[in-house]
Each structure stands twice: as structure tokens, then as C-alpha cells.
Structure 1
Amino acid sequence: MDSDLKYQLDKIVDSIDDIKRRNLDDIKRKLEGLDEIKQKLQDIDLREIKDMLRDIKSRLESIEGKIQK
């Protein structure tokens, strides 16, 4: 009977370990996905900022040209 209890407890522990492993792997995958999304968002923001700065520069150059005339 003791061996049966030990066997059952071992099975329970194995199941718990399996659940932990699966959940940890899933969480790691989700975090990696979030990191990729975060990087893409940062890249988009940087591109938008660069475009805005180019536009500002162009407008300032236009104003400068008009002032010099």
C-alpha cells in the first residue's frame, strides 16, 4: 500500500511539474512576443519622429529662404 501511495504522489508531482513547465514555456513565448511588439512600436515611433523632424527642418529652411530674400 505504501508503494501505491508513493506511486500516486509521484504521478501528482509529475503532473504539477508538467503544468509548471508548460505554463513557463507559454509565458516565455508571450513575453518574447511582447518584446517584439515593443521593439516594432519603438521603431514606428522613431520613424514618425524622424519624418516630423524632416518636415520641421524643411519648413524652417523655407522660412529662412524667405527671410534672406
Structure 2
Amino acid sequence: MIDISQEQILDLLKASPNIRFTAQDIIHSIKGGLRKERFYENMRKLEKMDCIKKEKGCWIYVSE
């Protein structure tokens, strides 16, 4: 189950495929903000998806 903040993160990454986003980029881009602890919890869940990759501290949405 994807919660609202996970959905917002996924939408942000999908909107810019193959672009690297740092934690800071994502946290500041989420409307209403996002606590760091919550961010990392959400990213661990999203990293399980085949389309989300983590490289050198950045996350990337890999389009097909």
C-alpha cells in the first residue's frame, strides 16, 4: 500500500525520469514538507520497486 507521501515522491521521480534526486531535493519538493525520518522510511519502501534505483545517495526513476 502506497501512502500519500510515497505517492508524491513517486510522482516527482516519474515526472523527471533518469534525473538524479538527492534526499534534500525530494524533501523540499514535497508540498507541505516531509520529515527526514518519514522520507527515509518511504524511500526504503519505494526502492523495492523495479523502477526506483538508488545510486551514490541519489534516487532515480528508471523509465522502461
What TM-score do the two structures reach when normalised by structure 1? Answer: 0.22
More strand by percentage: 2
Name whichever structure is richer in helix by fraction: 1
**TM-score by structure 2 length?**
0.23
